[in-house]
Amino acid sequence: MPKKASVFLENHATLILRITAGISIIIAILFIMISAEMFDHGAVFTFLGYITLLLNIIGIVGGILVLRSPSSEFAAAVLRSFCVVGLLFILFFSAVSNEFQFGLIFFVIFWVIVFILFSLPPIRRFMRSDQPDQSRITMETASLPRGTYLRIHPLFIVFVLSSALLFILIWVIDWEAQTRIYSEPNGGGISSYVSESNRPAITVNVDGGFIYNTGAVLSQDSDSPSLFSRSETDFCGEIKLKMTAPSAQITVYPYESGTLRMVLLNMPRYGRLILNGEEKRDGLRVSESRWTGEETITGTVDQILCARHLTLSNGVIMDVDITAGETMTLEILPGAEKTDQDSFRFAVLSDLHSGYNIFVPELVNILRNDADFLVINGDFTNLGYPAEYMMAAATTEILPIPVYPTIGNHDVWNGGSTSYNKYYGPFSYSFVFRETKFIFLDSSSGIIGENQFNWLIGELENNDSSMTFVFSHMAPIDTVTGSFDTSNTLHPETLHTIHSKSESDYLLRLMTQYGVDVFFAGHSHYHGRVEIGGTTYITSGVLGGTVKPGNDVCYLEVEVYNGQYTMNTIDVLSSEEASEKETENRFQAIRVFSIPFLINNSVRIASTLLLLIIIGMLWVPIRQRLVYRSKNRANNKIDTVTDREDLGI
């Protein structure tokens, strides 16, 4: 560095370091407010909340230490850690929220400057360290050749073993599960609930849905419209139910009297509520209110892309009075808002892979085209982590139309099938909507299996609908080549079809035998269409995650009317555009694979950062005691290194 700058730093080191320390303390205090905001955004942002807590502590402590002793190498180590953790926070926040807050540029610049400042030779020379006891240098060390040496001391062994043990403890134990950071739905994905003691003390059976969550009444978020006035009687509790069909019937048998809050998720857009035979119109339709008006829609999309929708209330909220011993029946029916009751429209998406930047903006176009519902045909998560399911569920629940999913192979990674069941219910299900039969299969393992085949045959045999659509993540046939895929049997997940040729043949035969109109699939990331035995087999391309050159970034829009159907392919990116965005797609691939890992291991990663900070600070005094350098001078004397610059470490 220039000599004048070096002299200036040496002459004013104390003042410069104290100013730096003061600014660090101010920034750390400001981040206390950011910490509170991170925790308010829900479990996905918990990781960032822990990082900001570390920033608060080490920023304030490091600043105070430097103010008291500007030349302390230990204090400098704390402030350097403050800079590193701060830059990591900016990196993680930008990745998790899918945006960069330009207001944070000041902090980035400050942390980079401070980190460089502490690395400059004049400042490093200014830092003093305690002189090692010269009596510890024996005659044996004097004969060592020139170089840097570490004295193996019991203190060093304890330091290394303790650090290794703590690191193992951090990563062997699932601390996220132990601390219950991710509050998953407790309904278990089943269609019944019985509790005679815990509130709500009721028995519930659902036909056309499942129990999502039960417990105490949860307060609404501040962004939701205010709830209508409630009964003066005490709440018995709250029960959330998620629909798996456009029509459903809910039967409630209460063991106590009072007011029960019911939250209905995945409701038809214009769904009607029939309570004990009478239509109920006072339910608060929270999700629909978020998609009215261009400004509101833009704000909702931004909330999803920035992952700020995780704590929002969704669905239809209604408070009903119940009386112990008196059965209550609630029917959910498709609405009558449309003039043509024989026609309807839906979209088929697949392989989102947590790639919200591609498919979320496209949701606006789907809603503008007046779709009655969406089908997400598998792989809406990438690694199957609970955090991904939390994000996916919050995204689908905020929509004003129902979402009917199938489970894909990526959705079962890392034990993801358990989370799928909690958030989306049964793996295989069916319903009839306006004389059209919809059947959803589980092909996540690449195998259909005997039990599911028996269930499928029963659904097809008892089907008297005019049209039949079957949905499965994996197709029985490659829709591009028209044949069964045998290209890579060593890694069957890369196949474009289910894994068993015999099951493929059987499935094709069943589709022909029972006159299935369309078999919808995904998985291959390619759009293809082939007709076999009167059944159309079609794959819908990819709409998120890791888009590779040649992939078809598209989805399907299906319209059914007068016993006929039309299918249109909606291209979001052409193959050429996807190829041109190869660099952007690579960054997106890194984000899609890494962010769920970061979020799902939030406690362990934050604990590891804390451990590394502590190790770095403890290493300063240990290094001063145990690290030596022999200069091997002519008189064979050894100089103890006190200048950190000479060590080069």
Q: pLDDT by residue (tens digit) across 363-416? A: 889 998 889 999 999 998 988 988 889 889 989 999 999 999 999 999 999 999
Assess whether pLDDT exceeds 70 at residue 569: yes
Separation CA 583–CA 412 (nearest Å) = 29
User: What is residue 205's predicted lDDT score, i.e. its pLDDT?
Assistant: 97
Assess whether pLDDT exceeds 60 at residue 529: yes
What's the CA angle centered on 438, arms 434 and 443, to 5 degrees?
170
| pLDDT tier, 139 (very low <50, low <70, confident <90, very high otherwise) | very low
Share of the chain above pLDDT 90, in %: 46
Longest dimension (CA), the chain: 105
| pLDDT tier, 339 (very low <50, low <70, confident <90, very high otherwise) | low
User: What is residue 232's predicted lDDT score, i.e. its pLDDT?
Assistant: 44
Separation CA 588–CA 277 (nearest Å) = 51
Q: Which two tokens stand for residue 70?
A: 């500007």
Can you say how many angstroms the Cα of residue 174 is from the centroid of all Cα atoms in its chain? 17
Q: Which two tokens stand for residue 89?
A: 């926070």
Q: pLDDT by residue (tens digit) across 146-174? A: 777 777 788 888 999 999 999 999 999 88
**pLDDT average, residue stretch 334-350:** 79
H or E, element range at 520 = strand 518-521
The order of strands in the sheet holding 258-265 is 209-215, 235-243, 258-265, 316-322, 284-285
AA identity, residue 563: G
SS3 288: helix
Separation CA 265–CA 188 (nearest Å) = 15
More confident residue, 304 or 213: 213
Q: pLDDT by residue (tens digit) across 448-478? A: 999 999 999 999 999 999 999 999 999 999 9
The CATH code for residues 345-426+441-449+468-580 is 3.60.21.10
User: What is residue 464's predicted lDDT score, i.e. its pLDDT?
Assistant: 94
**pLDDT average, residue stretch 562-583:** 79
Q: Are 356 and 395 in contact (CB under 8 A)?
A: yes
Separation CA 595–CA 180 (nearest Å) = 19
Between strands 564-573 and 553-561, the pairing is: antiparallel
280 has which bridge partners? 273
| Of 112-116, 233-237, 294-298, 341-345, minimum mean pLDDT range | 233-237
Assess whether pLDDT exceeds 60 at residue 137: no
| Of 42-56, 252-266, 572-586, minimum mean pLDDT range | 572-586
Separation CA 279–CA 330 (nearest Å) = 9
Separation CA 31–CA 28 (nearest Å) = 5
User: What is residue 144's predicted lDDT score, i.e. its pLDDT?
Assistant: 64
| pLDDT tier, 639 (very low <50, low <70, confident <90, very high otherwise) | very low
User: Where do the structural domains in the chain lie, given as residue ranges?
Assistant: 3-179+597-647, 185-337, 345-426+441-449+468-580
Closest C-alpha to 156, from 643, 612, 619, 628: 619
User: What is residue 477's predicted lDDT score, i.e. its pLDDT?
Assistant: 95
AA identity, residue 183: S
Q: Are 260 and 391 in contact (CB under 8 A)?
A: no
Assess whether pLDDT exceeds 60 at residue 136: no
Contacts with 280 (C-beta within 8 Å, 6 or more apart), sequence order: 273, 274, 318, 330
| Of 47-56, 131-140, 311-320, minimum mean pLDDT range | 131-140
Contacts with 464 (C-beta within 8 Å, 6 or more apart), sequence order: none
**pTM listed for this prediction:** 0.78
Residues constituting the chain: 649
User: What is residue 591's predicted lDDT score, i.e. its pLDDT?
Assistant: 67
Closest C-alpha to 601, from 41, 176, 51, 95: 176
The position carrying tokens 């892979």 is 353
C-alpha separations of 22 from 26, 78, 247 in Å: 6, 14, 63
Separation CA 531–CA 544 (nearest Å) = 27
User: What is residue 376's predicted lDDT score, i.e. its pLDDT?
Assistant: 97
User: What is residue 584's predicted lDDT score, i.e. its pLDDT?
Assistant: 66
More confident residue, 30 or 509: 509
- Among 95-104, 222-231, 338-347, 618-627, the range of highest mean pLDDT: 618-627
Q: Are 260 and 236 in contact (CB under 8 A)?
A: yes
Q: pLDDT by residue (tens digit) across 229-265? A: 554 456 888 999 999 999 999 999 999 998 999 999 9
215 has which bridge partners? 238
What is the sign of the dihedral through the CA atoms of 128, 133, 138 and 139?
A: positive
Q: Name the average pLDDT for the chain.
A: 84
Between strands 328-333 and 344-349, the pairing is: unpaired
**pLDDT average, residue stretch 92-100:** 70
Assess whether pLDDT exceeds 70 at residue 313: yes
User: What is residue 99's predicted lDDT score, i.e. its pLDDT?
Assistant: 61
Segments in 71-174 forming alpha helices (H): 73-96, 105-119, 121-126, 139-142, 154-172
Q: Are 302 and 361 in contact (CB under 8 A)?
A: no
Closest C-alpha to 399, from 379, 427, 374: 374
Assess whether pLDDT exceeds 60 at residue 649: no
**pLDDT average, residue stretch 66-76:** 90
H or E, element range at 440 = strand 436-440
The position carrying tokens 């089943």 is 190
| pLDDT tier, 623 (very low <50, low <70, confident <90, very high otherwise) | confident
Q: Are 191 and 209 in contact (CB under 8 A)?
A: yes
SS3 237: strand
